[in-house]
Copies of this chain bind each other. A is one copy, B any other.
């Protein structure tokens, strides 16, 4: 839904109606609401697929890899799909940052990914509350790296930004 993001960026999220988006995408409003339960969902198109993709990557991590490393590794690999779309990610983040309701929805989606990773860690034998915190820490690293990467110039891949952040944390936390 890149066209919708362009509309939001140009006219503002509140000022853009579902009808506007549907028209831009060549859909009727009725069809639009068959795909999206509300206008906010347009910004989270593909979020469920991303969640499943991350889960699969985490399941594939060797069992002798420590939980946080496994989580960060899965997120780094998943993040590769964004490398070619930095401009889109940046525009999307600007729209989300402009509206607390969108930020709420974004946090809920990230929470869903994090809960799914925690389940996978529990299946790997990690104690429940450690699994939950570790998954959330991974998501936080992903979210912050994504924000910084989106606004940064240069040719750096998202995974490099994540790796750099993990190194900074290791230094500060003495991991």
Indicate whether A100 reaches chain B with its CB closer than 8 angstroms: yes
CA distance A100 to B66 in the complex (A): 32
User: When the two chains form their complex, are residues B168 and A130 in contact, meaning their CB atoms are under 8 A apart?
Assistant: yes
Q: Which one, A3-11, A52-60, A134-142, is touching chain B? A: A134-142
Indicate whether A65 reaches chain B with its CB closer than 8 angstroms: no
Q: Mark A51-78, 1 if CB is under 8 A from B, else 0.
A: 0000000000000001110000000000
User: When the two chains form their complex, are residues A165 and B129 in contact, meaning their CB atoms are under 8 A apart?
Assistant: yes
**Least CB distance, A113 to chain B, in whole angstroms:** 13
Question: What are the 9 tightest A-B residue pairs by CB atom distance, in nearest-first order?
Answer: A107-B107, A104-B104, A136-B140, A104-B108, A130-B168, A130-B172, A132-B144, A137-B137, A133-B140
